[in-house]
Chain A
């Protein structure tokens, strides 16, 4: 009895303490974001929402935020356009040089960020892509391709390919089979893959520091400059907001999964 109690308490205690250890620094940032004054300080002397107003009203913060959304969106779109057909080809066909192509796709994972950043800095300079959004989009897409390709391949591996044959036997060609069978069934996993591509770009700092310049400055780059130059409490605001968004997404996903589980459970009951 006591041992069972212990065995259920110990993991809980561990989980809570690890969670606290990881979350505490983030909570400090949340508290600091409401602090008064023009520089970061803990504990704050008084609480205000001044820094939030600064963030949402200054072009110096809004433009990089918008840039980051545009760049992350565009690079996620490009990444999906490249990885989806590639993942299909790898799942469906055997072709000469398959392993070599896979190695090439995975290559960006093996190169250190700083090396890639330098390479892009010199290469894009020649192509006149330095300090442009297009340049950052391309660089971020290259970064996301291996990760998203892995996710897409895993998605397709668990896909039941007899459904494709069943659809063809019903009279649908390749296009209509993809449109009516593959796409609806794979859409949730495509969305997850797209989200990963988006986050990969949104979160990326090293390459953005080298090639985005002032014209195409991303949010992480702006945050880095802010901390280095002015120690502005707005950084804490941005961190808090990002933290809130990520937490919200995680909660929504967990909640939907839970709802789906209980729904299928009631269906099982109906069948009885």
Chain B
């Protein structure tokens, strides 16, 4: 990457709401490339929506800069930023038809009516609503309304598109279908998209990169698989996907071993931790497998405490002799072996063990 400057840059952005002691957003920095799909993922109150509103221009940062192609846009009001926006509750104008809603940004830009006509039709067609152009929002279903909102946010070819939990109000099937549609539109049109969600699977399937928010900070910003495989903090590891976090201390750093309550655990090649450092050894449940006999290392014996059957697979929880709880997956066929109260041996590969720092 020889890009001289990033497309959109958040530079140590903080937000404090009047009179409150704690910061809603604290020193958030991120570089977003042109054409990139970045999700802001986190629990409610983690600062992701506030960050989005500051990018949109609806909230002023208390500190820090927001740079677009090298120039600070903090002082530019929302309506001059040329950013498209999709809201969770659709926010369609109820007194306008679907056509008029999509035409609104073009009319504000004083485009000739023949061009407005052509563009609105093209974008309504793109979201599959050409037939519904003359309907009012009240006459459209939730999914259709959000498609109109999508067309309205894209029709004026905005510099950046911002989405605030756009699928939060839709049912599961429709949500998954819309995820695919939004992702395809974004790729096809080369849109720079910032997408706020609290749904980690939504962020995983759609994004080029995910910024995981917690307590007003970005804990990690990376590609979805990187976030999943190599979370940098305990919060990221536990918020994105399921995980087993085993407390321990690095024993022999060159041999890459962690001393834990369940014995020594070997870890993968890419971690740089010194001997004696307090760490978590993280193993995803699907990477732990049942074993015939107890392996000398990278395995343990469990007493099954709970089994949840999903049909094709089972989620099993068990405790070691020392009381550490581990969760793992087994296939539907292995369910009988994992009945509650039974003793099982489990094993994992050292490459699948990820080490992350543990605070005091």
Contact B77 A173 (CB under 8 A): yes
Question: Which B residues touch A180, using CB under 8 A?
Answer: 104
- Set A165, A171, A177, A270: member contacting B91, Cβ < 8 A: A165
Known: A165-B87, A166-B91. A171 touches B108 (CB 8 A): yes
Known: A162-B89, A162-B91, A165-B91. A170 touches B138 (CB 8 A): no
Give, as a whole number of angstroms, the nearest-CB distance from B78 to chain A.
4
Contact A171 B109 (CB under 8 A): yes
Number of CB contacts from chain A to chain B under 8 A? 68
The chain B residue sitting closest to A166, CB to CB, is B91
How many angstroms from the CA of A173 to the CA of B92 in the assembled complex?
17
Known: A171-B79, A264-B138. A165 touches B85 (CB 8 A): yes
A17 at the interface (CB under 8 A from B): no
**Nearest 4 A/B pairs, CB to CB:** A169-B85, A166-B91, A170-B105, A162-B91
B82 at the interface (CB under 8 A from A): yes
Contact A173 B91 (CB under 8 A): no
Give, as a whole number of angstroms, the nearest-CB distance from B72 to chain A.
20
Mask, A108-132, CB within 8 Å of B = 1, is 0000000000000000000000000
Contact A166 B78 (CB under 8 A): no
- Set B56, B94, B152: member contacting A185, Cβ < 8 A: B94
Sample 16 A-B pairs with CB under 8 A, ordered by A number: A160-B91, A162-B91, A163-B91, A166-B87, A166-B92, A166-B152, A169-B84, A170-B108, A170-B156, A171-B80, A171-B108, A172-B79, A173-B77, A177-B79, A267-B138, A267-B139
Question: Which A residues touch B94, using CB under 8 A?
Answer: 185
Question: Which A residues touch B188, using CB under 8 A?
Answer: none
Contact A166 B85 (CB under 8 A): yes
How many angstroms from the CA of A236 to the CA of B87 in the assembled complex?
58
Considering only residues 84-119 of chain B, those with a C-beta below 8 Å from chain A are 84-85, 87, 89, 91-95, 104-105, 108-109
Give, as a whole number of angstroms, the nearest-CB distance from A252 to chain B.
21
The chain B residue sitting closest to A181, CB to CB, is B93
Give, as a whole number of angstroms, the nearest-CB distance from B277 to chain A.
47
Contact A171 B56 (CB under 8 A): no
A184 at the interface (CB under 8 A from B): yes
Contact A271 B78 (CB under 8 A): no
> With A162-B89, A181-B93 given, can you name 7 additional A-B contacts, CB distance below 8 Å?
A166-B149, A168-B77, A169-B84, A170-B104, A170-B156, A173-B79, A271-B139
- Set B79, B89, B92: member contacting A169, Cβ < 8 A: B79
Give, as a whole number of angstroms, the nearest-CB distance from B113 to chain A.
16
Considering only residues 33-64 of chain B, those with a C-beta below 8 Å from chain A are 56-58
Mask, A145-170, CB within 8 Å of B = 1, is 00000000000000010110111111
Contact B109 A167 (CB under 8 A): no
Give, as a whole number of angstroms, the nearest-CB distance from A155 to chain B.
15
Give, as a whole number of angstroms, the nearest-CB distance from B58 to chain A.
6
How many angstroms from the CA of A169 to the CA of B160 in the assembled complex?
11
B153 at the interface (CB under 8 A from A): yes
A257 at the interface (CB under 8 A from B): no
A98 at the interface (CB under 8 A from B): no
Mask, B106-135, CB within 8 Å of A = 1, is 001100000000000000000000000000
Give, as a whole number of angstroms, the nearest-CB distance from B162 to chain A.
8
B348 at the interface (CB under 8 A from A): no
B195 at the interface (CB under 8 A from A): no
Question: Which A residues touch B152, using CB under 8 A?
Answer: 166, 170
The chain B residue sitting closest to A177, CB to CB, is B79
How many angstroms from the CA of A168 to the CA of B89 in the assembled complex?
16
Give, as a whole number of angstroms, the nearest-CB distance from A271 to chain B.
6
Question: Which A residues touch B85, using CB under 8 A?
Answer: 165-166, 169
B83 at the interface (CB under 8 A from A): yes
A99 at the interface (CB under 8 A from B): no
Of the listed residues B78, B152, B153, the one surrounded by the most CB atoms of chain A closer than 10 A to its CB is B78
Give, as a whole number of angstroms, the nearest-CB distance from A173 to chain B.
5
How many angstroms from the CA of A180 to the CA of B105 in the assembled complex?
12
Contact A166 B108 (CB under 8 A): no
Give, as a whole number of angstroms, the nearest-CB distance from A62 to chain B.
41
The chain B residue sitting closest to A184, CB to CB, is B95
Question: Which A residues touch B80, using CB under 8 A?
Answer: 171, 173
Considering only residues 249-269 of chain A, those with a C-beta below 8 Å from chain B are 264, 267
Question: Which B residues touch A185, using CB under 8 A?
Answer: 93-95
Contact B91 A168 (CB under 8 A): no
Give, as a whole number of angstroms, the nearest-CB distance from A267 to chain B.
5
The chain A residue sitting closest to B87, CB to CB, is A162
How many angstroms from the CA of A185 to the CA of B138 in the assembled complex?
14
Question: Which A residues touch B58, using CB under 8 A?
Answer: 165, 168
A176 at the interface (CB under 8 A from B): yes
Give, as a whole number of angstroms, the nearest-CB distance from A186 to chain B.
10
Contact A176 B108 (CB under 8 A): yes
Contact A169 B56 (CB under 8 A): yes
Question: Which A residues touch B105, using CB under 8 A?
Answer: 170-171
Question: Which B residues touch A170, using CB under 8 A?
Answer: 79, 104-105, 108, 152, 156
